[in-house]
A and B are shown apart, each in its own frame.
Chain A
């Protein structure tokens, strides 16, 4: 049987190859989903921790248990002490370090030296495990492990401790109230002074300078003296566990949080204990991101899965169609249904196994592609993702393979029942309209999706709020858009033949023989083409939609960021002022010391530089009250126009016209349009506005704007109830000179337009050691934006989706046409015998291409574009941040359309060449013989 199956597969090698391609893609894409999600989340997790480490300079993997010092509570300390070594294991993470710090309550000491300058007599006697390995002795020696003949022990202190406690090396101190087990008071000798050997050593959760009142003794001796017997002294204990945070794996985050909770519960049971860690908050935040990434990935990939499934189904059906006769013959010769199904099961299992073997490595490759996708069809070198073949990935791949076996075997059932007689009968029946056409599923899908669109559009604000609260894209929204694509595609397949029919009828008399034949074929065999048309429409639509979605998301986010930043570089230096003097004498006026602005104008990499005064505490009296928190911007019109980033299409006129108008008069101001709408201001009106501190300024309204660099007309703010609400923003743009004339020179921002890279500003800041109040570089923020795992994943999935679409499209297209030519060999023979020339036959085929593929591709592009238009404004919400100020524009980049067109054209070209060769090789006589079945 196996040999029979293999021989059968070899004989149909092209179909089998196509099936294999579909299968491999399905398996690899399915497997790549969990692999990628895992990898990118792992990277996100680690990056988050690393950022925490560099920004806060605290070790992210730190877990701390503390127990208080009273003698009565010592039991819990002893108990906890037993438990601490098990912490790393409980978390399932290796520990870089475990530090136990025990100390007795501060106690008074007597010095052996005659001193009256002792700053502090209350000292803490403590010990810290592993101390010796993490210090550098500045002077003296380390602790002794045994008391000397006089019962004195050597202890060490930190540099700060030496100063704070005012100690002198070799000084001996006696704790009269702390007795050794032998009843003698403890006496220590300051033998050494230490500092930490490495400033970045995580061992020092608290730097040595924090131990200003503590002397450190040997740990074993401490145990022997104070952890034995009835433990009369209260011990304070702190256990630091430095878990290796780099070993935290995404799939174990839940367990780690649970473990942390268990320790928290343990601590809660003991009144004298507290605990904290540096990772819980991070992990909880991470879980939110994780959910978002996972949903986004699935939602984005779902249409690709559907397409792949449809592809496999289509190809296997085509193959069955081809093998129908063989099956029928086998049936008539007595092969049972089960046997025939077995043949196909065997075949599909072989295919599934091969695709598993090839699909998994491909999945790993895909993950790298996904990980390096920076924008749509754009890749950058990022740190490689660590790809692992997790159990989850294997499971998914297996499920995909199983699914494809199902998709390949299920249709067999129908064919296996057919004997040669039924087959002949079926062949001679006129093809019926497919089920979906009879049930009007296309209209239904369109209706449901448009209703969904309508509903979602009404819920825009709710959607935006949910996103702000951390939700991901609503899968229903994506479902609705996919449904729309499907519905529109099917509807087009229903309508297109009617249009072709109409054109055909209208000009029936004028068609050349070739056109006439192709028209008739398109019209009369439309159900055969239905599937390839639906498939082509869906693939192209999805491709166009994917491209448009990715472009829209990226462009809008990027533009929004630029708009909200204002210019390539926006910074404000820390200004010195006389506020210290004013504290003494409030009557002195606040004066600022203006830093030298010319340093910026002379910067090599700056194309233009301008000063912008930004104050968000503006106030203005209006009829019936006053408007507060107005954003006031003071600008130098000419430089501002040269420097700020602004999309000129945002305003009804070019924004330079507004700037020009403003430059005409010193008092000219521009107001945000909501002043006009809410308070009825008009151009030419005079207004008075001031800041919380400055005196009123008179302005004359020269224009109203909806958009202005950095200005968002509405913002979402989180109220005290934790919910986000919309808030109106007002803006006044005035001439800087006018504002400075009234308010004096107050701290302003410096806006810089870079020639190309913005690197120079970092160099400048570093070289001159300037301290900045704010420092925004748009390019850096964009990079940060692109590294967001959701955006990254989206770009990756959409890019891969697009590529897969192209591959499927090409393969599906070729298969369909080659098969259609092969199965029509007889027909071509007839045409040739009737004296049709090769040219005419090729013309005929090209016509068919135009009517079937061409129409489908055009429709697909249209459907994709339409879907993007209708749904992107909603989908974009999921990716935008709270300060999304710009109106959403659906972006479709011509280069994507060109790419798609080039590939489609290449496909059709290749197809025509193959067809040409096929037809050319086809001997008429032979073709006629072939047709004798």
Chain B
């Protein structure tokens, strides 16, 4: 199988009140390309920390993170920002749209950042259509429901055709049905568009939908498939 990200012995230590807290204690995972990978665990298990490290938002205390063979653990902030911009998309648990831009502009803005060549508005509309929101393109975030906002966030995250889409508890703020619809959307994106997706969840029900599932507890991998 083709892996887009691989980690070797990743650890992450947070200093809190002078004491060391090991959020990750040597993790080895591999993210297959074009598949849906799920990181599962209870809160505090370290899954978000791991995802932030995989997504070049955070640096590991030790270990290697190979993104298409490049060790992003060693990259400086500037190059990591570029990596995030060009090759990675994020969807967060908190609904993270830019409040002063409408749905279309939010998606378009991601394209602006990546210096997308071509018709940005058309591409943005295309992505909104993909998540089923083309009707609401001109609405401001606060005028959309939670599920709709999250779908805009997904449209924004995939607009510039990133190699990997990271989603941190994308269903966390949503009700069960909307959440399920969200994961179905992810499924479609991997199956139809060939997007690689990494998502975290604490929901055991969603695990079956993943191509690969890692389960964490106390910063250690207890189950990897």
Contact = CB atoms under 8 A, between A and B. Distances in A.
B133 interface: no
Given A835-B85, A924-B57, A932 B94 contact: yes
Nearest to A924: B57
Contacts of B82: 835, 837
A925 B12 CA distance: 14
A513 B109 contact: yes
B27 interface: no
Interface in B67-116: 77-78, 81-86, 88, 90, 92-94, 96-101, 105, 109-110, 112-114
B87 to A, nearest CB: 9
A409 interface: no
Contact of A834 (B78, B84, B93, B140): B84
Interface string B132-164: 000000001011000000000000100000000
B52 interface: yes
Contacts of B105: 520
B28 interface: no
B220 interface: no
B211 interface: no
Interface in A526-544: none
Nearest to B83: A835
B58 interface: yes
A931 interface: yes
Contact of B57 (A429, A826, A833, A836): A833
A851 B77 CA distance: 29
A617 interface: no
A56 interface: no
Contact of A837 (B81, B93, B110): B81
Nearest to A928: B92
Contacts of B90: 833-834
A524 interface: yes
A847 to B, nearest CB: 14
Nearest to A829: B96
Nearest to A837: B81
Contact of B85 (A430, A834, A923): A834
Interface in A509-563: 513, 516-517, 520-521, 524-525
A17 interface: no
A525 B77 CA distance: 31
Given A513-B112, A829-B96, A430 B81 contact: no
Contact of A524 (B84, B100, B112): B100
A516 B156 CA distance: 16
A925 B58 contact: yes
A481 B101 CA distance: 40
A832 B100 CA distance: 16
Interface in A615-673: none
Given A517-B109, A835-B84, A826 B100 contact: no
Main SS at interface, chain A: helix
Contacts of A428: 142-143
A835 B113 contact: yes
Contacts of A925: 48, 52, 57-58
Contacts of B97: 830
The residue in B55, B90, B142 that gathers the most chain A C-beta atoms within 10 A of its C-beta is: B90
The residue in A834, A924, A929 that gathers the most chain B C-beta atoms within 10 A of its C-beta is: A834
The residue in B55, B57, B78, B100 that gathers the most chain A C-beta atoms within 10 A of its C-beta is: B100
A833 B165 CA distance: 12
A683 interface: no
Contacts of B98: 517, 827, 830-831
Interface string A807-830: 000000000000000000011011
A780 B44 CA distance: 81
B96 A931 contact: yes
A836 B96 contact: no
A220 interface: no
A751 B132 CA distance: 93
The residue in B58, B113, B114 that gathers the most chain A C-beta atoms within 10 A of its C-beta is: B113
Contacts of A365: none
Contacts of A830: 92, 96-98
A513 B57 contact: no
Contacts of A200: none
Interface in A493-517: 513, 516-517
Given A520-B105, A521-B100, A833 B113 contact: no
Nearest to B140: A430
A827 B114 CA distance: 18
Given A835-B113, A837-B81, A520 B100 contact: yes
Nearest to B78: A837
Interface in A828-865: 829-838
Interface string A361-379: 0000000000000000000
Contacts of B84: 833-835
A826 B141 CA distance: 14
B12 to A, nearest CB: 11
A833 to B, nearest CB: 5
Contact of B88 (A427, A520, A832, A835): A835
A827 B140 contact: no
Contacts of B83: 835
B142 A834 contact: no
Given A513-B109, A834-B85, A835-B85, A430 B94 contact: no
Nearest to A518: B100
A928 B94 contact: yes
A517 to B, nearest CB: 7
Contact of A520 (B78, B81, B86, B101): B101
Contact of A835 (B81, B94, B96, B99): B81
Contacts of A835: 81-86, 88, 113-114
Contact of B113 (A525, A827, A836): A836
Contacts of A838: 77, 81
Contacts of A516: 109, 112
Contacts of A427: 142
Contacts of B142: 427-430
The residue in A429, A830, A835, A932 that gathers the most chain B C-beta atoms within 10 A of its C-beta is: A835
The residue in A428, A838, A925 that gathers the most chain B C-beta atoms within 10 A of its C-beta is: A925
Contacts of A837: 77-78, 81-82
Interface in A424-443: 427-430
Interface in A904-929: 923-925, 928-929
Contacts of A932: 93-94
B200 to A, nearest CB: 13
Nearest to B99: A827
Contacts of A513: 109, 112-113
Interface string B3-39: 0000000000000000000000000000000000000
Contacts of A517: 98, 109
Nearest to B111: A513
B178 to A, nearest CB: 18
A835 B140 CA distance: 22
A313 B184 CA distance: 51
A513 B52 CA distance: 24
A44 B11 CA distance: 79
Interface of B: 48, 52, 55, 57-58, 77-78, 81-86, 88, 90, 92-94, 96-101, 105, 109-110, 112-114, 140, 142-143, 156
Closest 10 CB pairs of A and B: A835-B85, A835-B84, A428-B142, A932-B94, A524-B100, A837-B81, A513-B112, A830-B96, A833-B90, A513-B113
29 contacts: A427-B142, A428-B143, A513-B109, A513-B113, A516-B109, A517-B98, A520-B101, A525-B100, A827-B99, A830-B92, A833-B84, A834-B84, A834-B109, A834-B113, A835-B83, A835-B85, A835-B86, A835-B88, A836-B81, A836-B85, A836-B113, A837-B77, A837-B78, A837-B82, A924-B58, A925-B58, A931-B94, A932-B93, A932-B94
Given A834-B156, A837-B81, 9 more contacts: A524-B101, A826-B94, A830-B98, A834-B113, A835-B114, A837-B82, A923-B58, A925-B48, A928-B94
